Structure 1
Amino acid sequence: MNRAGNDAGVGVATVSDPDPPDTEPRARLGAELRRLRDLAGISGRDLAQRIGISQSKLSRIEKGNAVPSIPQVLDWAREADASPETLRVLRLLTEAAHSEVDTWRSALATRRHLQDEVRERESAADVVSTFQPSVVPGLLQTAEYARRVFATFQLPYAKDDLAAALAARLDRQLALYDSDRRYEFLITEAALRLRPGPHRVLLGQLDRISSLSTLDNVSIGVIPNDIEATTTVPHGFVIYDTGDDETLVSLELIDASRLVRAPEEIELYRRCWELLGRMALFGDAAREFLAGLAVEIRGSAGD
């Protein structure tokens, strides 16, 4: 980012180049907000008090580790005596930071896999809520099911990278046994029927889901095909609930991943989660459904 001290007037701070190519929006936003505060000569403690956030939250914002709401950015800009043009650019940066898109091609150009980044989001959340309409969620996958799912990825893994991704996914699953964190899953029957290999792979997968559903901190709901729909959601999503304004939603699209941080958009996903939950079977009813599905699969298995 071009950080030349562009002052439009005495005591009025401005933002230059709003969109450099290789920096995350939240990092750009944090850097510009820090620059505005420095130009205005306001300490972090003082500014935090003025706009009604903690000093630690202000520090995380400036480092790009947290994203402020638009009202907080507007208050920040007002306290720093920002120009109208600066305010416009800050709003654009904030909107971009609240909805980040990272293409799989660009993400994997610099990383062998993305499992460690997902684990960081899971570790920061108190509750992880996953809806999956097309495949068993990664945290519930058996090793063989996961290996075969990775092999079908749109951008094929190299052999060593696939092994590393699989090992990292299985390592993530250890967190399911941490009783201090809650995991919630809603899985459609279509996802449960997806067979990325021989019938035995799917049967082993269904057995694992049933077993994990008995953990006290794990809730697994299954949504039968013939249930009356209360909503329709065409893609999976994960809500990482931190209990504060750093909650986020993750989406996996065909070409990219998207992170949503805007509170009003997160509320939409919470509402979808509630409606989907009304369609689901839980506890003994869910395990009975899984057992019935396994019986059907065994009856049709020819391999």
Structure 2
Amino acid sequence: MKAPGPSPAEPARAGDDEPIGVTLRRLRKARRMSGREVAAAVGLSQSTVSRIERGIGSPDLGDIHKIARVVGADDRQTQELIRQAQRLHDRITEWRPTSDSLADRQVSVAEWEARAQTILDFQPTVLPGLLQISPYAKAVLRLFQSLARIPAERLTEAAVLAAVSARVQRQQVIADRSKTFSFVIMESVLKNAPCPPVEMLAQIHHLREIATGHENVSLTVIPDGRPMTIPALHGFTLFDRDVILIDVYNTGLLSRGREDIEIYHRIFGMNLDCAEPIAPYLDRYQALYIDALTARR
């Protein structure tokens, strides 16, 4: 005879091998709570709760603690979940948002940006998302959409436009003067032109406004040909000393491990030491794009 399972009132204890998300989902269902109800109770988005339950990415320790309490975990269960989450933090994992939506991916990044007080962003090939105007963002998203693990039927023009809107909306966080932002880009970023000269001129104007109009923003450039202590292998973003998101072609790599974060903080500092104020480079590339625009007429 099959042994009876746990009653809803008395959920089974989490075993050491049971994934964090499985435990939290089981406890939530035992309480007859929906994911939306849990999200509202702990002040998170429903997509964040869903990602944690599905084991996607490396969950925030504070989020695990809050969700565990809301779904009825006792002290022992909560501490075990925290220990499991801490172990996950010590390794780099692939970041896969729970939704196939291009726009929802932007929302996921916006959540990290909203929580962080200091954001450090290094990019060797394209501008950071927080600095892109709509035409530039649209061009970049189109370039990479063919590599995204998203069903072809969802890679529509409407989906790209929704993602562009979500990416631009993220930029509201720059207006929060309690936060600080440091962007370091390679000069090649200004040279690379994913959109026509007239739109690149608008992009350069926007960069100038950001650089001069926001005291909480530092925007610097590593000149072409300048020797670097560490080669620029890829872009990355640090959110405080809590999370690092590393850019690769078709996805992102996520880590909350202290050693990973410390290493990338050191690399960012080395890159920053090689960088110069952006203003002269904006002047130079503004002139180049004006010449390119004139030559087309």
Alignment partner for residue 62 of structure 1, among 45, 61, 65? Answer: 65
* CA distance in 1 between partners of 2:141 and 2:102 (Å): 15
Equivalent-residue separation in structure 1 for 2:189 and 2:167 (angstroms): 19
Distance 1:265 1:113, change over 3 A: same
Alignment of 1:43-192 (within 5 A): 60-63=63-66, 94-98=86-90, 99-103=92-96, 107-109=98-100, 112-153=103-144, 154-155=147-148, 157-192=155-190
1:34-60 Cα distance to aligned partner (Å, 9 max, x none): xxxxxxxxxxxxxxxxxxxxxxx9764
Paired residues, what number? 238
Deviation at 1:126, TM superposition (A): 0.5
| 1:58–1:95 Cα change, 3 Å | closer
Instruction: State the TM-score, normalizing by the size of structure 2.
Output: 0.69
* Cα distance change on mapping 1:90 and 1:164 into 2, 3 Å: closer
- Post-superposition offset of 1:134: 0.8
TM-score (norm 1): 0.68
**Does the 8 Å contact 1:237/1:250 carry over to 2?**
yes
Q: Is the 8 A contact 2:64 2:82 kept in 1?
A: no
Q: Which runs of 5+ in 1 are unaligned?
A: 7-13, 19-24, 33-56, 66-78, 81-86
Distance 1:213 1:142 in 2: 14
- Any conservation in 1 of the 2:197–2:289 contact (CA below 8 Å)? yes
| Deviation (angstroms), 1:299 | 2.7
> Structure 2 residue aligned with 1:197, among 170, 195, 198?
195
**1:11 match:** none
Question: Structure 1: how far apart are the matches of 2:260 and 2:228?
Answer: 22
SS at match of 1:216: coil
AA partner of residue 252 (structure 2): S
Go from structure 1 to structure 2 and tell me whether the alpha carbon gap of 1:97 and 1:217 turns closer, same or farther (over 3 Å shift). same
**Cα pair 2:102 2:160 within 8 Å, conserved:** no
Q: Which residue of 1 aligns with 2:280?
A: 288
Q: Does the alignment pair 1:260 with 2:255?
A: yes
Which runs of no fewer than 5 residues in structure 2 stay unpaired? 1-5, 27-59, 69-74
Q: C-alpha offsets along residues 177-217 of structure 1, whole Å, 9 cap, x if unaligned?
A: 22111111001111121111211122221221122101101
**Local SS of the residue matching 2:221:** strand
RMSD (Å) for aligned C-alpha atoms: 3.4
What is the percent sequence identity of the aligned residues? 26
> Per the alignment, in what secondary structure is the counterpart of residue 213 of structure 1?
helix
